[in-house]
Structure 1
Amino acid sequence: MGTSPIWGSRPKTRGLVLDVIRAVRASSRVELAAATGLTGATISEVVRELMADGLVIEAGRGGPTGGKPRTLVQLNPQARYSVGVQFERNTCVIVVVDLAGRQVARTSFRGLVKPPEQALALVASQVEALLATAGVDRDKVLGVGLVGYGPQDRRTGSLLTPQPTDEWLGYPVAPRLAEDLRLPVLLDNDAAAAAIGEYWLGAVDARSTYACIYMATGIGGGVVVAGQVYRGSSSNSVEIGHISVDIDGDECSCGNAGCLENYAGPSAVVRQALAMPGLAQRLALDPAGDDFLMEFARIAAAANAGDGEARGLVERSARYLGCAAVTLAGLFDVDTIVLAGPSFAVAGSIYQAVIQREVDRRTFARRAHPVRVVPSVNGADAAAIGGAALVLQSELVLGPPEESLRPALS
């Protein structure tokens, strides 16, 4: 089975230097020494290794400093690639990104409601076709970030949810996809992936603590501290969609009661709209439909266009999410909250304004520092791009994963 071209081949200093170069775009060796605390001799040696591997290239001269202009180095975007695969309930988005995290190819398709063996074979064929169409050298592909919803066992690369069908519960999706593609596959949560994608593309301060609220069909969350995803004990953390907002609420499929997702998620908004005959008729909502993303998009478009009833539903959802954002800020003392995912992509301006207002008014530490609510730089594909970024980070910056994670990655 295929492995990374540079798997386990560098010390931590190499990853540290590479991450600084990624964050600042272009840097001299003197600046790298100052940023990392490493000696000039060490920096020179590490940069030489990175250039020999093609990961870093020279980028001209820096500005005048009173002496000889310093030579700058930057990432070589074409040196390595990774693939991000995002599972939604019935859809799949696949992206290929370069070393800088920039998307170079994308495809999407429906039809994952089938046995996992058939669905993964379809995903593998689509990945192969996308790499071929993009003209990406397979030897430069570090691996695949497979991201989705629900509880997961990252150690075995298995899903712990019976969705989209019961056969998926406990199925080792990462090892099976790795066999089909002959590439390392890393399983992760879609919200955590979306969060780290912001970091890799330089949209947030590398030293900051920030949160991501991810909304597709469901609602998830992720927190990043100084470039590292907060994992918890089993990497099933920050599941804000399943915090109780009503202790007497209906039981959720997760086992909890009164979950946020059942009041603010797209499926909840669609159900609420269907209970308003005039609105449902105007928007031609299908009471028997199961494509909540499409139906929610109709409601969001109507809200953006000035439909009062539609806007009321979206703003109500946003107030609930504002409550979740305040909770995230209180628990993790974040300075930024990123809104990511396809549902925010269609109604982001309304959500951003309402959530920012709630955060400004209610956050515990509001007198100590502001909390910005911002849209994701990666839009609707934030999870897929983030999945690819997780592979880049894991392979190039963090070093080899824990021994217990290797079955899902090799």
Structure 2
Amino acid sequence: MALSPTWTNKSRTRGLILDAIRAARTISRVELAAATGLTGATISDLVRELIDDGLVVEAGRGAPTGGKPRTLVQLDPRARYSVGVQMERNTCVIVIVDLAGRPVARTSFQGVASMPPDQALPMIASQVDALLATAAVDRDRVLGVGLVSYGPQDRRAGVLLSPQPSEPWLEYPVAERLAQSLGLPVLLDNDAAAAAIGEYWMGAVDRRSTYGCIYMASGIGGGIVVAGEVYRGSSSNSVELGHMSIDINGDQCPCGNVGCLENFAGPSALVRQAAATPALAERLVPDPDTADFLTEFARIAAAANAGDPAARDLIERSARYIGAAAVTMTILFDVDAIVLAGPSFAVAGSIYQTVIQEEVDRRTVTWRTHPVRVMPSVNGPDAAAIGAAALVLQSELTHGRTRTEEGRGAGSHARPVAAVAGD
């Protein structure tokens, strides 16, 4: 049922207050009014409602300012939870996060690439159920599940628009089927977009800033966040950095483009390059035909970190290609910072960060009106999974949306959350 305009406006106002409390960690009502532009009366009424709903608690008194010390409020982290599922081509990571966005439980497993979706999704559901039970999280406090994967995808329909890891996954209703297995709403999204918003939710970036995220797992993706909102484009398939062309005479990519960045700088490309480099092929014996590029790439990265000159040369060359993408991101979106997220950056992050920062500094000198900082994700290799859970929190709590409004992939059985999002 559609929300009335009054209901919607109140929900969004509650969301604005919740987001300000989340960003500040602890804050007074007076400070909330200054941060949101709302009147003191509105702040008092809605904070009282949030306390009654169990989402917010009082947290003592602030420092004296010449008058009566102000009462501080903060989120109750245990009031609500969400689940994040990152479905990589061969690896799946599942996290549970609390209302403050902090991970409380995690698990991972491999083998998804070898299964059709009608086998893989029930396996994912059983792992989610087991993790919730192990963490002793009350399912009634779980807002939903964020399922993130590579693009392209139809976010609203909850389907992947790619035949990877195998043909049966193409246009399979992944969100709906997982929701049916779990009895929880499921929100499908892009892994790089999720990793990007996870930085905002964890307070690693200024909430008013514009920043980019380059995400690298077995492939390369990107995301842009403007004042806490992910830039979506017309179909939510934007900023696919891995498929920007860096060589118009390059080989054709399965995506249809030619000379794609991913085919020069991605983990699978480096595994192939290592196999063709005699010094590395003899020492590391990389398998260019493996489905598990992450493990093979991690071995190359470990060798580079240990000082192997051939391995370091491969990583630095990859970093310079990705640096070119970072320069393009800087010029197109005028970002304040670029976050490097994902498991592949996690294993060789210091090399990538140094080289990409050098490329951005060197190649944008005439464009820069402010410094652009290249920095590692605060969420490490689990950035996409944590971000997936954060997207659920953001959708349900700060945007004031109901579960069924946010994603039709959740199915009609998903229970409404009007009492959570705003009432």
Report the TM range for the smaller structure's normalisation.
over 0.9
* CA shift for structure 1 position 110: 0.9
The residue that corresponds to 2:417 in the other structure is none
Q: Deviations over 1:361-399 (max 9, x none)?
A: 112665410000000000000000000000000000012
| Equivalent position SS for 1:78 | coil
| Equivalent position SS for 1:59 | strand
The residue that corresponds to 2:34 in the other structure is 34
Separation in 2, partners of 1:35, 1:109: 42
The residue that corresponds to 1:3 in the other structure is none
The residue that corresponds to 2:254 in the other structure is 253
* CA shift for structure 1 position 280: 1.4
Bigger shift: residues 37-46 or 397-406: 397-406
* CA shift for structure 1 position 290: 2.7
Matches within 5 A, 1:139-288: 139-288=140-289
The residue that corresponds to 1:345 in the other structure is 346
The residue that corresponds to 1:302 in the other structure is 303
Q: 1:360·1:366 contact (CA, 8 Å) conserved in 2?
A: no
* CA shift for structure 1 position 284: 2.9
| Equivalent position SS for 1:74 | strand
Separation in 1, partners of 2:393, 2:365: 35
Q: Deviations over 1:339-369 (max 9, x none)?
A: 0000000000000000000001112665410
The residue that corresponds to 2:11 in the other structure is 11
* CA shift for structure 1 position 9: 10
* CA shift for structure 1 position 287: 4.3
Q: Deviations over 1:260-291 (max 9, x none)?
A: 00000000111111001221111232344331
Question: Is 1:384–2:363 an aligned residue pair?
Answer: no
Give aligned pairs, total: 404
| Equivalent position SS for 2:157 | coil
Question: Is 1:49–2:49 an aligned residue pair?
Answer: yes
Separation in 2, partners of 1:394, 1:295: 36
Separation in 1, partners of 2:40, 2:409: 38
Matches within 5 A, 1:351-362: 351-362=352-363
C-alpha change, 1:35 and 1:141, in structure 2 (3 Å) is same
Separation in 1, partners of 2:142, 2:178: 15
Letter paired with 1:215: M
| Equivalent position SS for 1:79 | coil
Separation in 2, partners of 1:228, 1:406: 17
Q: 1:86·1:92 contact (CA, 8 Å) conserved in 2?
A: yes
Q: 1:335·1:372 contact (CA, 8 Å) conserved in 2?
A: yes
Separation in 2, partners of 1:42, 1:8: 15
* CA shift for structure 1 position 402: 9.8
Separation in 2, partners of 1:363, 1:401: 43
Detail structure 1 runs of 4+ shifted over 3 Å in the superposition. 7-10, 364-367, 401-406
Q: 1:333·1:365 contact (CA, 8 Å) conserved in 2?
A: no
C-alpha change, 1:286 and 1:406, in structure 2 (3 Å) is closer
Q: 2:271·2:288 contact (CA, 8 Å) conserved in 1?
A: no
The residue that corresponds to 1:372 in the other structure is 373
Separation in 1, partners of 2:234, 2:26: 36
Query: What TM-score do the two structures reach when normalised by structure 2?
Result: 0.93
| Equivalent position SS for 1:66 | coil
| Equivalent position SS for 1:84 | strand
Bigger shift: residues 399-408 or 58-67: 399-408
Q: 1:157·1:187 contact (CA, 8 Å) conserved in 2?
A: yes
| Equivalent position SS for 1:253 | coil
Q: 2:96·2:106 contact (CA, 8 Å) conserved in 1?
A: yes
Letter paired with 1:97: V
Structure 1, unaligned runs of 5 or more: 1-6
Query: What TM-score do the two structures reach when normalised by structure 1?
Result: 0.96
Q: 1:58·1:73 contact (CA, 8 Å) conserved in 2?
A: yes
Q: 1:340·1:376 contact (CA, 8 Å) conserved in 2?
A: yes
The residue that corresponds to 2:87 in the other structure is 87
* CA shift for structure 1 position 91: 1.1
Separation in 2, partners of 1:10, 1:184: 23
The residue that corresponds to 1:75 in the other structure is 75
Q: Deviations over 1:131-182 (max 9, x none)?
A: 0000000000000000000200011100000011100000110011111111
Letter paired with 1:314: I
Structure 2, unaligned runs of 5 or more: 1-6, 415-423
* CA shift for structure 1 position 404: 6.7
Q: 2:186·2:407 contact (CA, 8 Å) conserved in 1?
A: no
* CA shift for structure 1 position 191: 0.1
Q: 1:154·1:405 contact (CA, 8 Å) conserved in 2?
A: no
Q: Deviations over 1:179-200 (max 9, x none)?
A: 1111110000000000000000
Separation in 2, partners of 1:390, 1:221: 16
Question: Is 1:100–2:100 an aligned residue pair?
Answer: yes
The residue that corresponds to 1:289 in the other structure is 290
C-alpha change, 1:89 and 1:367, in structure 2 (3 Å) is closer
Separation in 2, partners of 1:242, 1:401: 34
| Equivalent position SS for 2:78 | helix
Q: Deviations over 1:275-320 (max 9, x none)?
A: 0122111123234433111111111111111100000000000000
Bigger shift: residues 301-310 or 398-407: 398-407
Q: 1:250·1:258 contact (CA, 8 Å) conserved in 2?
A: yes
Letter paired with 2:126: S
Matches within 5 A, 1:314-329: 314-329=315-330
* CA shift for structure 1 position 407: 1.5
Letter paired with 1:386: G
| Equivalent position SS for 1:244 | coil
Q: 1:265·1:317 contact (CA, 8 Å) conserved in 2?
A: yes
C-alpha change, 1:86 and 1:365, in structure 2 (3 Å) is farther
* CA shift for structure 1 position 408: 1.8
Separation in 2, partners of 1:229, 1:273: 36
Q: 1:84·1:96 contact (CA, 8 Å) conserved in 2?
A: yes
